[in-house]
Chains A and B, each alone.
Chain A
Amino acid sequence: MTAEKFPKIYLYRRIVQAKLFIDTHFHQDINLDNIADEAFFSKFHFIRLFKSTYNKTPHQYLTSVRIENAKLLLQTEMAVADVCFSVGFDSTSSFTGLFKRLTKTTPSLYKKIQLKRKSEISKTPLKFIPNCFAEQKGWKTAILKK
Chain B
Amino acid sequence: MITKMNHVSIFVLNQDSAYEFYVNKLGFKVHTDAPMGPGMRWLTVCPPEQPELEISLMAVSEGMMFKKEAAAQMRELVSKGTFGFGVFECNDLLATYEELKVKGVQFKKEPTKEFYGFEALFTDDSGNWFSLGEKKNK
**Chain A residues within CB distance 8 Å of chain B:** 1, 5-6, 8-9, 12-13, 15-16, 19-20, 52-55, 121-122, 125, 128-130, 133, 136-139, 142
Q: Which of A5, A13, A54, A128 interacts with B92 by CB under 8 Å?
A: A54
Interface size class of B (residues with CB under 8 A): 20 to 34
CB pair A12–B37 under 8 Å, yes or no, is no
CA distance A19 to B63 in the complex (A): 42
Q: Is B1 part of the contact surface with A, judged by Cβ < 8 Å?
A: no
Interface of chain B residues 70 through 109 with chain A (CB within 8 A):
91-92, 94-95, 97-99, 102
Q: Is B68 part of the contact surface with A, judged by Cβ < 8 Å?
A: no
**Chain B residues within CB distance 8 Å of chain A:** 7, 9, 32-37, 40, 42, 56, 58, 63-65, 91-92, 94-95, 97-99, 102, 110-111
Complex: chain B residue closest to A138, CB-CB? B64
Contact residues in B for A139 (Cβ distance below 8 Å): 36-37, 40, 42
Contact residues in A for B42 (Cβ distance below 8 Å): 125, 128-129, 133, 139
CB pair A1–B95 under 8 Å, yes or no, is no
CA distance A6 to B7 in the complex (A): 37
Q: Which of B37, B58, B102, B111 interacts with A16 by CB under 8 Å?
A: B102
CA distance A6 to B97 in the complex (A): 12
Q: Assess A53 versus B34: contact at CB under 8 Å? Given A16-B98, A137-B63.
A: no
CB pair A136–B64 under 8 Å, yes or no, is yes
Given A1-B110, A53-B95, 14 more contacts at CB 8 Å?
Answer: A6-B111, A9-B98, A13-B98, A16-B99, A16-B102, A52-B92, A125-B42, A128-B34, A129-B34, A133-B42, A133-B58, A137-B64, A138-B65, A139-B40
